[in-house]
Amino acid sequence: MTESTTIRWEQDRSGLVTLVLDDPHQSANTMNQAFRDSLAVITDRLEAEKDSVRGVIITSAKKTFFAGGDLRDLIRVTPDTAQQLFDGGLEIKRHLRRIETLGKPVVAAINGAALGGGFELALACHHRVALDAPGAKIGCPEVTLGLLPGGGGVVRTVRLLGIADALLKVLLQGTQYSPRHALQNGLVHEVAATHDELMAKARAFIDANPESQQPWDKPGYRIPGGTPSNPKFAANLPAFPATLRKQTAGAPYPAPRNILAAAVEGAQVDFETAQVIEARYFVELAAGQTSKNMIQAFFFDLQAVNSGANRPKGVEPRQVRKVAVLGAGMMGAGIAYSCARAGIDVVLKDVSAEAAAKGKGYSEKLCAKAVAKGRTTQEKADALLARITPTADPADLAGCDAVIEAVFEDTALKHKVFQEIESVVAPDALLCSNTSTLPITTLAEGVERQSDFIGLHFFSPVDKMPLVEIIKGERTGDEALARAFDLVRQIKKTPIVVNDSRGFFTSRVIGHFINEGVAMVGEGIEPASVEQAAAQAGYPAKVLSLMDELTLTLPRKIRTETRRAVEEAGGTWEEHPAEAVIDRMVDEFGRTGRSGGAGFYDYGPDGRRTKLWPGLREHFTRPDHRIPFADMQERMLFSEALDTVRLLEEGVLTSVADANIGSIFGIGFPGWTGGVLQYINGYEGGLPGFVARARELADRYGARFTPPALLVEKAERGERFADA
Ligand code: NAI
């Protein structure tokens, strides 16, 4: 290899070399083999022609600066190929180190996103100037994919910012900063408003610093804030594992643990040794299952879902301009805010002007908070609020090209509100219901244009939750599905698409999680350890506290309706052991959940959770009764995974990516698994291992753990869950 194919060398008469990252075969520059080869060629040339080089600017010809490691390569790394990854990583580090110690000033002119490997490349430069481009992000998000920055990112951020700031601001959270915030947090030195200014600032640095050195290569350098060998520093160290515990709640997230170790160990040795330590911890993560799960979910599945693999082809994209939101309660208020934030005019209707205004008040609160925190300007907040018109008058809905209904969960009421407005809104308006459980096909019977009717299931709190579950009724048309998909993308949320069924995918599957937790309390297991099992499995919400949030009366209502529907269809209702526990809680003890002031937990007068209700131990717990902790965790995880497979069998779910993304983003299935079906793929022993374990759980805890035929067949054929 004698030629650089992905890095262009441009040199002016003054000896200033601009290295332009420009991979001819890809839309973004990545750390692929061609880049590694090019970097070697360029580094050799810089050293050979050093005398005629005055300084170096590294920039890119793409929209992004540099995208980092190629995830397609990383997801294929196995313990057998780990050595290769280790060697390749060290090779890149060596080249970057050679550039860094060339004795000439090197500036990163960051013209777009510099995340992961891109930021690591910039960190090897003596000076970083970032273009304040809209949407440009800077940082090390590797932890969110179960990895650590293995291109010198740990070693250099620790030396740049000190251990504490490197961990908390950059490495452990994977925060992606705007150029301005990157400046405030010490990740870059300067920000430029235009491309010309970016290059001018880069040149100015070189003119002023003919012989640059990194701070850590200067004599007498010490890591800011000290290192663990300093007694003062050591006194603060115990705080880190606490942060870590909070972040991962003991769930199997190895990345934060390895990041912490690489940072602390690397701070106590010389630069080169620290690079090797970082490489070891990186390779361990890359060869492990968790990073593969997380890359699958948070990169590949998310891309598949957002890019519209599910959107019917051939329907022209359309933007909604004015939306009617019916019902200004908790969900309607949140939906109104999310739509207005995306620039859509909103008419927010409730039964009275006061109720509608109260719904708008929610947006007012969120806007005030965003302004106070500097996340938006007063002007933008005012414009957002001006787009929301609260009303009680159906006539105000004239001209709306989409309707999102969020009134009480009652079929007759939902029919009535649609009847009231169908002839007022635009004649081809998209008609959506935010029901969480009612069949869309039945709701559609309340409107004239059934093919335009669709389910749009948001999650609470709407402004924070990234997912929307789109539900196709039996008569929903392709046009409506495409428009619903476009609307969800327009408000910058992630859409999954499922077919109609009671509870759809998300509500049905989360019900199994909750039922399993409640059933364990009924069996006599200590409630605190049930909560602990959920947290350590990686669930963001503990199971009994979640039940309290949703209210104990909700599953009773759903159960009554579902049971009636099953029996009407000639089926038999199979009772879940959780039902008796919930009935006792409500009927015998009058505890209906947080909104009722008492549930599995006690609540203070301000509605805050205080402690688990001591009565649980008195009435349910058998002090001598214990089951293995792993069984407790896996009963929750398996109950959700097994029902997801049943939903695939029934045709409610049609895509693996939808199941994985929907489970993590909608109902809090633990992120380390890569989603509910990836959990099965990645289970020890693969699908056969999962089937064997499900049978074991079925023997111990009930037939509900019997693996469905689809799963057993796939396991026998040696397949896994993957989209075609
Ligand atoms: P909510 O009780 O907070 O709000 C319902 C609102 O609808 C109230 O403001 C009520 O005044 C209004 N309303 C009643 N009749 C009306 C009418 N004829 N015209 C206009 N407005 C009317 O209920 P929430 O929690 O916002 O739920 C609304 C819907 O969203 C339900 O179908 C629920 O199942 C669904 N959902 C709820 C979720 C949650 O976490 N609470 C999550 C996803 C969906």
pLDDT in tens, 289-331: 999 999 999 999 999 999 998 899 999 999 999 999 999 999 9
Q: Residue 283 in contact with residue 82, Cβ under 8 Å? A: yes
3-state helix, strand, coil in the chain (%, to 5): 55, 10, 35
Q: In residues, how long is the chain?
A: 724
Q: Is 327 in the pocket of ligand 1 (CB under 6 A)?
A: yes
Residue to probe by mutation, ligand 1, list 330, 354, 456, most atoms within 8 Å of CB: 330
Q: What is the pLDDT of residue 246?
A: 63
Q: What is the pLDDT of residue 247?
A: 61
> What's the DSSP call for residue 315?
P
In 3-state terms, what secondary structure has residue 489? helix
- Average pLDDT of the chain is 94
Helix (H) or strand (E) holding 660: helix 656-667
Q: What is the pLDDT of residue 561?
A: 87
Residue to probe by mutation, ligand 1, list 325, 335, 350, most atoms within 8 Å of CB: 350
CA end-to-end span of the chain: 37
> What's the DSSP call for residue 358?
H
**Other Cβ atoms within 10 Å of 662 Cβ, number:** 31
pLDDT tens-place string over residues 133-142: 988 999 999 9
Q: List 8's β-bridge partners, or say none.
A: 20
Q: How far apart are CA 421 and CA 358, in angstroms?
A: 21
Q: Count Cβ neighbours within 10 Å for each residue of 361-390 and write b for 16 or more, e otherwise.
A: ebbeebbeebbeeeebeeeebeebbebbbb
Query: What is the mean pLDDT, run by run of 10 residues, along the chain of 724 residues?
Result: 86 97 92 91 97 97 90 90 93 96 97 95 98 94 95 97 94 94 97 98 97 95 85 64 63 88 95 97 95 93 92 94 98 98 98 98 98 92 98 97 96 97 97 95 97 97 96 98 98 97 94 97 97 94 95 91 90 94 97 96 95 97 93 98 97 97 96 96 96 98 97 97 78
Q: How far is the CA of 436 from the centre of ligand 1 (A)?
A: 10
Q: How far is the CA of 1 from the centre of ligand 1 (A)?
A: 65
Q: How far apart are CA 325 and CA 332, in angstroms?
A: 6
Q: List 695's β-bridge partners, or say none.
A: none
Q: How far apart are CA 193 and CA 186, in angstroms?
A: 18
Q: Is 468 in the pocket of ligand 1 (CB under 6 A)?
A: no
Q: Residue 490 in contact with residue 342, Cβ under 8 Å? A: yes
Q: Is 88 in the pocket of ligand 1 (CB under 6 A)?
A: no
Active-site residue identified among 47, 100, 142, 526:
142
Q: How far apart are CA 505 and CA 659, in angstroms?
A: 8
Residue to probe by mutation, ligand 1, list 335, 347, 408, 551, most atoms within 8 Å of CB: 408
* Nearest atom of ligand 1 to the alpha carbon of 433: 32
* Closest to 476 (Cα-Cα) out of 435, 447, 505, 509: 447
**Other Cβ atoms within 10 Å of 576 Cβ, number:** 21
Quickly list DSSP for 436-479: SSS-HHHHHTTSS-GGGEEEEEE-SSTTT--EEEEEE-TT--HH
Active-site residue identified among 120, 469, 579, 640:
120
Helix (H) or strand (E) holding 206: helix 195-208
pLDDT tens-place string over residues 472-490: 999 999 999 999 999 999 9
Q: Is 460 in the pocket of ligand 1 (CB under 6 A)?
A: yes
* Closest to 182 (Cα-Cα) out of 84, 113, 253, 264: 113
330: left (phi over 0), alpha (psi -120 to 50) or beta: alpha
Q: Residue 198 in contact with residue 128, Cβ under 8 Å? A: no
Residue at 624: amino acid letter: D
Q: How far apart are CA 96 and CA 125, in angstroms?
A: 9
Q: How far is CA 175 from each of CA 23, 169, 268, 296, 297, rounded to the nearest angstrom? A: 27, 7, 25, 20, 18
Q: What is the pLDDT of residue 68?
A: 81
Q: Let me know if 50 is exposed, middle or buried by CB neighbors in 10 A (0-12, 13-18, 19+).
A: exposed
* Closest to 5 (Cα-Cα) out of 18, 20, 24: 24
Q: Residue 660 in contact with residue 304, Cβ under 8 Å? A: no
Sheet holding 55-60, edge to edge: 7-11, 16-21, 55-60, 106-110, 127-131, 190-192
Q: How far apart are CA 548 and CA 542, in angstroms?
A: 10
* Nearest atom of ligand 1 to the alpha carbon of 405: 29
Query: Is residue 640 annotated as part of the catalytic site, yes or no?
Result: no
Give every CB contact of residue 40 below 8 A, 6+ residues apart in sequence: 1, 91, 95
Query: Is residue 100 annotated as part of the catalytic site, yes or no?
Result: no
Q: How far apart are CA 609 and CA 345, in angstroms?
A: 38
Q: How far apart are CA 506 and CA 646, in angstroms?
A: 13
Q: How far is the CA of 330 from the centre of ligand 1 (A)?
A: 7
Q: How far is the CA of 428 from the centre of ligand 1 (A)?
A: 24
Q: Is 434 in the pocket of ligand 1 (CB under 6 A)?
A: yes
Residue to probe by mutation, ligand 1, list 331, 358, 514, 547, most atoms within 8 Å of CB: 331
Q: How far is the CA of 12 from the centre of ligand 1 (A)?
A: 66
CA dihedral 502, 504, 505, 510 (to 10 degrees): -60
353-372 helix and 378-386 helix, angle to the nearest 10 degrees: 160
* Nearest atom of ligand 1 to the alpha carbon of 410: 32
Q: How far apart are CA 636 and CA 530, in angstroms?
A: 10
Quickly tell me which residue has 């019977």 as its tokens: 445
Q: Is 357 in the pocket of ligand 1 (CB under 6 A)?
A: no
Q: How far apart are CA 589 and CA 574, in angstroms?
A: 25
Q: Is 406 in the pocket of ligand 1 (CB under 6 A)?
A: yes
Q: Is 558 in the pocket of ligand 1 (CB under 6 A)?
A: no
